[in-house]
Amino acid sequence: MNKALIIALICALPFTGFSQSIDVNKDNGLVSVNGKGVFYMISKNKVMWEADYVLTNLDNKELAYFKLTKKYVYDEHLKNHNEIQYYVLTFDQTGDHCDIKDYMDDTASIVKALAKDIVIGNLVQGNEINKEKEEEFVIKHDGKIKLEENKTPDTRILINIKDNKIYNNGDLIGTYKKLPIDEMTALQVYNTSQNKVAEVTHEENGASWTIITPVDQKKDSLDYDKTSPMESLFKYLVEKKYL
């Protein structure tokens, strides 16, 4: 669909979303419209009031991911760096993505505001993401539609490590700290918000990593890849969305 035509259609849409009653269940994340459940907004990697959110359908299938992102922008007038927070929304099936910045000053109702935007955009239809509505939504938020470039969505995870910094496809996703413990490798892994996402150990000559994730108090193991042990560890944390 022509991009200019899509923008014109968005502008012409009747603004009816706010007439609907939208509620978010604080316990299970179920989003209801006029009393009927339509999708879930599940918090992930929650630390205090900050969290990522997973958009799932009523069968708990993941449809999209809201990644809380922070960056520092230099203010020429104040001569200092200001922290900016926003969500990067990525749709699972297509890889289309956009930044959501409109609600970050109202942390108490962020999840409801995000849910409201999804409902108004009519994104979830028949328990799935509607592709045309997704395209309209991404363009509305000045995002990137991968299909415009006739590319297959790139879902590869390419981990690089420089000093103590962790990169995925060239983007900084976290850092790690190595602890001085004899006869084992012990690491603490942090996301870009400097929140600890994992405590990891590997005993000398051991067959696996032991991984503890504080945010959900889970303990897991991962086969130790002798050829690229750190890269495979951080790839695992990306796949599980801890990074």
Residue 74 has pLDDT above 70, yes or no: no
Residues 180-225 have pLDDT tens digits of: 998 899 999 999 989 999 999 999 889 999 999 998 889 999 999 8
Give the pLDDT band (50/70/90) at residue 146. Answer: low
CA distance 166 to 144: 24
Residue 165 has pLDDT above 70, yes or no: yes
Q: What is the three-class DSSP state of 141?
A: coil
Residues 28-40 have pLDDT tens digits of: 999 999 999 999 9
Q: Provide the 10 A C-beta neighbour count for residue 219.
A: 9
| Range of weakest confidence among 8-22, 34-48, 160-174 | 8-22
Strand partners of residue 141: none
CA distance 148 to 3: 9
Give the pLDDT band (50/70/90) at residue 18. Answer: very low
Residue 15 has pLDDT above 90, yes or no: no
Give the pLDDT band (50/70/90) at residue 75. Answer: low
Contact 110, 121 (CB under 8 A): no
Residue 6 has pLDDT above 50, yes or no: no
CA-based nearest residue to 38, from 18, 53, 20: 20
* Distance separating the N- and C-terminal Cα atoms of the chain: 34
Q: Interior CA angle at 221 toward 216 and 223, to 5°? A: 145
pLDDT of residue 12: 45
Give the pLDDT band (50/70/90) at residue 11. Answer: very low
Residues 77-106 have pLDDT tens digits of: 776 777 778 898 999 888 888 888 766 544
pLDDT of residue 149: 47
What residue ranges do the domains of the chain occupy?
3-149, 159-239
Place of tokens 């979830």: 124
Longest dimension (CA), the chain: 66
What does pTM read for this prediction? 0.52
